[in-house]
Amino acid sequence: MSKAEWENNEEIKIFREYLQIPSVHPNIDYTPCVEFLKRQAESLDLSVHVVYPANENNPVVILKWEGSEPELPSIILNSHMDVVPVVTEKWEHDPFGAEMDDEGRIFARGTQDTKQIGTQYLGAIRALKAEGFQPKRTVYVTFVPDEELGGHLGMKEFVKDDYFKSMNVAFSLDEGSPSLDENYYVFYAERTAWPIRYKFSGTAGHGSILLPHTAGEKLHYVLNKMMEFRASQVKMLTDDPDLFMGDVTTLNLTQVIGGQQNNVVPAELEVIFDLRIAVTADLEAMERKALQWCEEAGGGVELIFERKDDFVPPTKIGASNPFWVAFENSMNELNLKFRPQVCPGGTDSRYLRQQGVASLGFSPMNNNTPILAHDHDEYITAEIYLHGIEVYKKIIPAIANA
């Protein structure tokens, strides 16, 4: 297709309109998103409901496609309305202009994370309804807030809401990512996030004296232990090319805090690590090890969990899960290669899995799309976007009738 044909395509127009809504952190006004989605629901003859499980500033928009057997457990097609901030001067294109170049690349924040899947779901439903298809199971298309800040004001609260409980959900599709190879990534689990803070207390004094038991010495000991552990995880990835980032525990030093000036030995120092623990790891053993390093450093070291998520069991992928079978068969019929992975980041799927909802993270973008979520000049091509609608057009009926 030419640029003119892409620009005149109705699905592309809808997508670009959604991208032009600056639902960007911080202090998002979701009203334009809600109004846009209400118009989409009307055009598709779908009922729409808006709930505010956390507060009046964070709506969850739910479009409902009634199934022919509504007593069956339902499915959710989920995406989030919010997007991360932009550094405008680093973009060559208006980050909320949804500009398209001659190659059909559509530039905007949210083209990969995750406004694209939200409107792709709607495009697939539009095509399916035009063909007269009605699902057996009721299909809900949910648009949630706050995912980019952890979902605490979005999906985390929504799953506690009476409306969610009335939905009787058995399965969910949510966001994935582009891949590094020809396979499409399918996320069936997430690691356990434990961002941790170490507070080191020690002898303070003049910078010219070799004081004993300083906070810096204790920091050095713990930092070495943490980095040795990090190196062991890097080695695992290096030694086994079949492993993915989500298969190991990642550990990164993200903040160092403390000190007054260059000639004063501080009484306190702090460091913060981003720690994401592999699904195969022993959480209790991990915590014991971290506490042991505090003691070995000489005391005066406090371990604080900035967040301490519970372990969430992975979604089963195999013959015992009819939704997985339906998804797998659809991908095979489309001749699309795919690979189940543990998601290296965090998505709203973890809150659904905590409720016993089988969840898969999937965005129909393979290595033909560079990974630009949260990056400058984020884009998706019109061709890949429209292809994604065709992919969902195959998957949605399969899982809805599973």
CA neighbor of 21 nearest in space, from 77, 79, 83: 83
Q: Which residues contact 134 (CB under 8 A, 6 or more apart)?
A: 67, 68
CA neighbor of 110 nearest in space, from 63, 62, 147: 147
Q: Which residues contact 204 (CB under 8 A, 6 or more apart)?
A: 211, 214, 264, 265, 266, 267
Catalytic residue selected from 147, 247, 309, 378: 147
Q: How many CB atoms lie within 10 A of CB 397?
A: 20
Q: Which residues contact 160 (CB under 8 A, 6 or more apart)?
A: 53
CA neighbor of 41 nearest in space, from 118, 112, 120, 122: 122
What is the chain's Cα-based Rg? Answer: 24
Angle between helices 382-400 and 322-333 (to 10 degrees): 140
Backbone angles phi, psi at 82, to 5 degrees: -80, 150
DSSP alpha helix (H) spans, 154-265: 155-158, 162-167, 215-239
Catalytic residue selected from 11, 82, 309, 328: 82
Would you call 147 a catalytic residue per the annotation?
yes
Residues with a known catalytic role: 82, 147
